[in-house]
Amino acid sequence: MENNQNLDETINSENNKKPSKFKTFVKLFCIFFILSNLFFYLSERRKYINDIYPQARKYFIINDMIFTYRYILNTFVEVDNPIMQPLNKLQKYFYDKGIKYIPQDDAERAFWNYKFNLYPYTRKTYMPKAFSKNNFVPSEIHTQILDDVYQTIVDLYRYEFKDTNFKNEKFKVVPLLADQFQAYLYLYAGTSNRLAKELSKKALQEKEVINKISNLLEILVKYNEMIHKDEKLQIEISNTSDSILRCLYYSIHRLSADLIQADILKQNINCSANYVEIYLNNFEFAYSGEKPFFANKKYSSIKPITDIIFCNNHITKTISYHLKQTCNIAIAPQCYPDEKFIDENIINEKIHIYF
């Protein structure tokens, strides 16, 4: 009897310890959470609070804290996942509260839009899924995101940062946004990834799309010139992320190729067009020259991707053929199509005109 009583007391004692350990863990976690957020908030204040838009800065810090948690969660799920919605709504609330304190003609507005709204898309080159009964009818979700990406690039280029602490952010942000835009511009013509090739051709016959591509290409070329003239800026960009310059040269290549392809679809190649020169210069500098940009060892791991983007693809081979035949311009021999490709994909390919 006494043994049973002792056993009961031991069990009760163990059961009492478990909740006590759990409560201790919860308390310690709460303390750590509060202190880490307080430390983060104070460090952000020291970094960003100044006499330029002080009210906006307070909201920028709060937005940056929410952004950090969204970033962590976005590592595992996409931005449009229901799990993300509470943080997305909280971000939007404080974004709307703070953005109104920044003038319309300050590039910082566009930077806020990139960081707190568009970054989850550019981070993974992600686009939400959209379903349509007609694959050749664009989705409003897609076109809104593409238009937002485009306008953000234009505003970063058009306006200056009053706060000079942000002045170089546009050089880091624009190439990433351009990469997102070019990757999905076919969605201006429809919704199907499977029909991306046909949708791209349709999009490249729309004047508004061509105008946007031309504007973005002009901006990227000017930024490229400015970066090459500023060694400190080059170092700062390289220290920030290797993907920035990679996206810059990828985007210049693909956007200039889009404009040439648009000419091919019209069966009217302009050999003296500036975008042809841009295409050739960027191709040589980044890929086919004596010491091309992508020959750097740090890009060796993505060489197969670079080869596909610059050379081993349908568009490059088609452009190589037409530039040689029409303009007597030759690019890298390894990118020129063989006879089978020419016969099946160029000479006997049907040209579709979309209205």
Residues 121-130: tens digit of each pLDDT? 999 999 998 8
Q: What is the mean pLDDT of residues 257-269?
A: 95
Helix H or strand E segment including 24? helix 2-48
pLDDT of residue 346: 86
Q: How confident is the model at residue 354 (pLDDT cuts 50, 70, 90)?
A: very low
pLDDT of residue 38: 56
- Ramachandran angles phi, psi of 106, nearest 5°: -110, 130
Would you give the DSSP letter of residue 333?
A: G
pLDDT of residue 352: 46
Q: How confident is the model at residue 355 (pLDDT cuts 50, 70, 90)?
A: very low
Q: How many domains does the chain have?
A: 1
Which of these, 82, 139, 93, lies nearest to 117 by C-alpha position? 93
pLDDT of residue 43: 56
Whether 76 is covered by a domain: the verdict is no
Whether 79 is covered by a domain: the verdict is no
Whether 31 is covered by a domain: the verdict is no
**For residues 289 and 34, which has the higher predicted lDDT (pLDDT)?**
289
Whether 171 is covered by a domain: the verdict is yes
Whether 70 is covered by a domain: the verdict is no
Q: What's the pLDDT tens digit per position in 1-18?
A: 555 555 455 555 555 555
For residue 106, list its beta bridge partners: 160
Query: What is the gyration radius of the CA atoms in the chain, in angstroms?
Result: 26
Which of these, 103, 88, 100, 119, lies nearest to 59 by C-alpha position? 100
Token code pair at residue 280: 């050739």
Q: What is the pTM of this model?
A: 0.87
Q: Give CA–CA dist 232/227, Å, rounded.
A: 9
Which of these, 225, 218, 206, 273, lies nearest to 251 by C-alpha position? 218
| Type of residue found at 287 | Y
Q: Give CA–CA dist 112/95, Å, rounded.
A: 8
Helix H or strand E segment including 265? helix 242-266
Whether 274 is covered by a domain: the verdict is yes
Per the structure, the complete domain to which residue 308 belongs is given by 107-355
Whether 49 is covered by a domain: the verdict is no
For residue 38, list its beta bridge partners: none
If one counts every other C-beta atom within 10 angstroms of the C-beta of residue 332, the result is 15
Q: Which long-range contacts (CB under 8 A, 24 or more apart) does 221-229 make?
A: 221/252, 221/278, 222/157, 223/157, 223/170, 223/171, 223/174, 223/175, 223/248, 224/248, 224/252, 226/171, 227/171
Proportion of the chain above pLDDT 90, given as a percent: 73
Residue 13's Cβ-side half-sphere holds a number of Cα atoms within 13 Å equal to: 6
Between vectors from CA 315 to CA 310 and to CA 316, what angle results, nearest 5°? 40
Distant-in-sequence, close-in-space partners of 193: CB < 8 Å, separation ≥ 6: none
Q: How confident is the model at residue 31 (pLDDT cuts 50, 70, 90)?
A: low
Q: How confident is the model at residue 52 (pLDDT cuts 50, 70, 90)?
A: confident
Largest CA distance in the chain: 105
Q: Give CA–CA dist 279/282, Å, rounded.
A: 5
Helix, strand or coil, per DSSP, at residue 160: strand
| Confidence check: pLDDT of 150 > 60 | yes
Whether 48 is covered by a domain: the verdict is no
| Type of residue found at 43 | S
Would you give the DSSP letter of residue 106?
A: B
Token code pair at residue 211: 């105008």
